[in-house]
Amino acid sequence: MIILNNQMQKQLQALMPRLTDTHPSYNYLDQLSGKLIAGSIGENSLSYYFHLAPLEGHEIIFGVRLKEDDYFFQIDCLLLTPHVIHLIEVKHIKGELSLNSMEQLLRASSNQTEVFPNPLIQAKTQAYKLKKTLRQLGCADIPIHPYVVFTHPTAILNFPSATVDMIPLQRLPNHIKVINNLYKNNEHYEISKIYNIILERHCPNKENLMLKYNLEIEHIIRGVRCRNCNNFSMERMHQSWKCSICNTLDRHAHLEALKDYAHIFGPAIRNKDAQYFLKVSSPDICYRLLNHIPCSVQGSNKGRIYYLNSLIN
Ligand SMILES: [Zn+2]
């Protein structure tokens, strides 16, 4: 099993606590971050149910992002078995869900009805794109079966019984069995080869958030966060950090802040950037902090650049 981490989610998790809530994109980014977190909770809960399914000689890939023509598409989960690829779209949404005659997904609550894109149509589109991509790569023409798994424990699925490919999480082991049976007389494909080809084509989603959402350095809250009270209130003193609010001491508090920096601004940092971001006025202290991190460096003296990749990968 391989989980290809969602870079965008990590970036937003670092950014949101530091973004001033008056920024015009704050609400949009906050919602996007919530959606990505919910998605990853749903994906994680799938792993347990895979253990309950009768699986042999298989591979699992979470979160692969591929390019088709000029566009990217991301697949929540691929279960590669010798006769068929299961393409699983994961929906972690709560509430009473149904389909209307136009096959839109509806969520009803006491005072409103919300509309979502039909996830099965989404999954089928992805299956089509994946098939096309695999063909272009000279991969065997293995069948791909798309379906949707609803992972939220309180979701109520009111779908017609004919909607066999939209299931609650608990039915996943049985659904895997049914689908594998459906394709068992097909050719036997070499899974490891397909697995490697897909992984080689993975394009991590690394966006420049600052550029994309017009974020300026002054929109970002600087400083080192206290792990006890969560305020950006740590002050450097006597080779450690001390919270000015709750007095918590933490020798390594700057590491989380530098990790945030790397996610938001990219891994390259100079001493004066670190001074500004960590709110440390002494270049000597920043020199020591940066030199203790295992990272590659380029240049010397004031122009020296430290690459914080080891903190975020
Ligand atoms: Zn504190």
285 CA distance to ligand 1 centroid (A)?
A: 21
Residue 121: HSE in the Cβ half-sphere, 13 Å Cα cutoff: 8
232 CA distance to ligand 1 centroid (A)?
A: 8
Contact 121, 102 (CB under 8 A): no
> Whose structure tokens read 């299961």?
86
228 CA distance to ligand 1 centroid (A)?
A: 5
The confidence score (pLDDT) of residue 174 equals 95
Structure-derived torsion over alpha carbons of residues 116, 120, 124, 130, reported in degrees to the nearest 10: 80
Terminal Cα-to-Cα distance of the chain (whole angstroms): 18
295 CA distance to ligand 1 centroid (A)?
A: 29
The confidence score (pLDDT) of residue 248 equals 97
218 CA distance to ligand 1 centroid (A)?
A: 23
Alpha-helical runs (H) found in the chain: 7-15, 26-51, 119-136, 172-182, 191-200, 209-212, 253-265, 271-278, 283-291, 309-312
259 CA distance to ligand 1 centroid (A)?
A: 19
CA dist 210 and 238 (Å) reads 34
227 CA distance to ligand 1 centroid (A)?
A: 7
The confidence score (pLDDT) of residue 5 equals 65
Residue 268 tokens, joined? 């390259």
CA dist 254 and 261 (Å) reads 10
User: Coil, strand, or helix at residue 248?
Assistant: coil
Residue 296: HSE in the Cβ half-sphere, 13 Å Cα cutoff: 3
* Core vs surface per residue 208-218: b (16+ CB within 10 A) or e: ebbeebebeee
CA dist 106 and 111 (Å) reads 13
196 CA distance to ligand 1 centroid (A)?
A: 46
183 CA distance to ligand 1 centroid (A)?
A: 58
The confidence score (pLDDT) of residue 35 equals 82
- Name the residue among 261, 194, 250, 228 with its Cα closest to residue 59: 194
SS3 per-residue string spanning 152-164: CCCCEEECCCCCC
CA dist 251 and 289 (Å) reads 10
Q: Which CATH architecture has domain 222-312?
A: Orthogonal Bundle (1.10)
The model's pTM: 0.76
Residue 210: HSE in the Cβ half-sphere, 13 Å Cα cutoff: 12
241 CA distance to ligand 1 centroid (A)?
A: 10
233 CA distance to ligand 1 centroid (A)?
A: 6
265 CA distance to ligand 1 centroid (A)?
A: 25
231 CA distance to ligand 1 centroid (A)?
A: 6
Residue 152 tokens, joined? 């939220």
For the chain, the structural domain boundaries read: 2-200, 222-312
250 CA distance to ligand 1 centroid (A)?
A: 10
18 CA distance to ligand 1 centroid (A)?
A: 16
224 CA distance to ligand 1 centroid (A)?
A: 10
Residue 74 tokens, joined? 């991301």
Residue 264 one-letter amino acid: I
The confidence score (pLDDT) of residue 41 equals 82
309 CA distance to ligand 1 centroid (A)?
A: 27
234 CA distance to ligand 1 centroid (A)?
A: 7
Residue 194 tokens, joined? 């397909």
Low-confidence ranges of the chain (pLDDT < 50): none
248 CA distance to ligand 1 centroid (A)?
A: 6
